[in-house]
Amino acid sequence: MSEFANTIKDSLLEKFTKTSYELDGYGEHNFFMSQDEIHPAIEFLKNNGFIYLTDITGSHYPEKEGAEFQVVYHIHNLSENLRIRLKVDLSEKDVHVPSMTDLFAGANWMERETFDFFGIIFEGHPNLTRILNVDDMDYHPMKKEYALEDETRTDKDDTFFGR
């Protein structure tokens, strides 16, 4: 790990006390943040050379009680060629995180897409409306609320698929 990466890691862990860190098997730096620390953490990173917000997305883990949703941010320091992944776990009862649109204009569409597919609310977003699905859709399609296949179908023969 580079000296710069160590400095950033130590600074984040010292400044944001609810944060934990993990270096995964692919060499990616993962920081697990709280809802109230994510905006100041990304602002801190932006002020320290992480000027490219690569992606914001969500995940749904219905089996993780109290942390059913996760918002994932990828942010990159181009001059040091260092990418950091920040993750925020959210309870199904509180799917709110602060918007990053005041820090990165590009967060606008990423947050709208994450809202559209997972129902995660980005507080302070200037226009949090659906972006890819129809406006009158009454569900969020990436939530794992429905079976992948229709169990009532009788016209399938699964013996060819090892089931």
- Cβ atoms of residues 34 and 44 within 8 Å: no
- Cβ atoms of residues 27 and 88 within 8 Å: no
- Cβ atoms of residues 77 and 50 within 8 Å: yes
Q: What is the per-residue pLDDT across 133-159, written as a single tens digit (0 to 9) for each? A: 999 988 899 999 877 777 777 777 767
Name all domains of the chain by residue range, CATH numbers in brackets.
3-145 (3.30.460.80)
- Cβ atoms of residues 69 and 95 within 8 Å: yes
Angle, vertex CA 123, rays to CA 119 and CA 124, nearest 5? 130
Burial class of residue 88, CB neighbours in 10 A (0-12, 13-18, 19+): buried
Q: What is the pTM of this model?
A: 0.89
In the chain the first and final C-alpha atoms are separated, in Å, by: 45
Q: What is the per-residue pLDDT across 99-133, written as a single tens digit (0 to 9) for each? A: 999 999 999 999 999 999 999 999 999 999 999 99
